Chain A
Amino acid sequence: MRVSQGARGRSRALPLLLLLIAVAILVWIVWRVNNRKAFVDREPPSGETTQAEFAGAQPKGAFHLEEGNVLARTVYSTAGPANSHIEVRDFKFPPHVKTHVAALPGPGVLEVYSGHGSMMRGDQSEELANGVIKPVAAGQALEFDNMGDYSLVVRLYLVEGE
């Protein structure tokens, strides 16, 4: 039986074609492995999470909790002249509520460090914003209204007479 030249060419080309396909598949697989993206959008881990434990830091200069979720701390305290006593106190007032600070034992100066709101003294309201400084008299009860979304942070420089 005579085999035509075209048929012989086709029979030679077939193994080459199969080899090319096999190599192409191999190349594709290896390339895919080598080029896999590290970002895998996995589902969050199942099972109970352990967020109940506190795992943060407790920095120095700690605050303590007062009534109405007000955080307060004394950062400096020393004897002043003429039997006076000088204190520097910080307060953090929670947002969207009115909170009170008990009447001060001496006159002082208040400086707003962060946030905005108002301070009521008697029936007088004064606006508070970052950088505002206000004198406060001894024996005066203060009410703070934090109108921001986060803590209103205030530093109070207090001079207390003996």
Chain B
Amino acid sequence: MEEEREVRILLVDDERLVRRSMEKTLLRAGYDVESAGEVREALEIFRQAEEDGEPFDIAVLDLHMPNFEGVDDPNAGLELLSRLVAIAPTLPVVVLTAFDEVRRAKEAVTRGARAYFVKGREAGLIELIEEILS
């Protein structure tokens, strides 16, 4: 089991504490997690991983962040999603949302995201990822 290649997850959220907490949860669940607090950094990490032959298996992206112009944007995650899918068309993406923005997250699902996850109960995120990857 230890020899199995670990599932690689890209986690992107601009809220530092939220990001760190989810990162820890995912690490504990046995995933190989790389995280970014900003969309440009995230895109760079993703490209580098593709080049290095260690592509990500799934991306977990916050929706409401500063966008590529650095301006606060409720749909910054969607923009990143489309850029990642342009590189890796089969990449499953989970979008993260605050509990008051579920409607927007559902909309994101219609625009290419595999699923959405409401931040808070992190054990649920593990279940969701396992379901997507199984």
Chain A bound to chain B? no
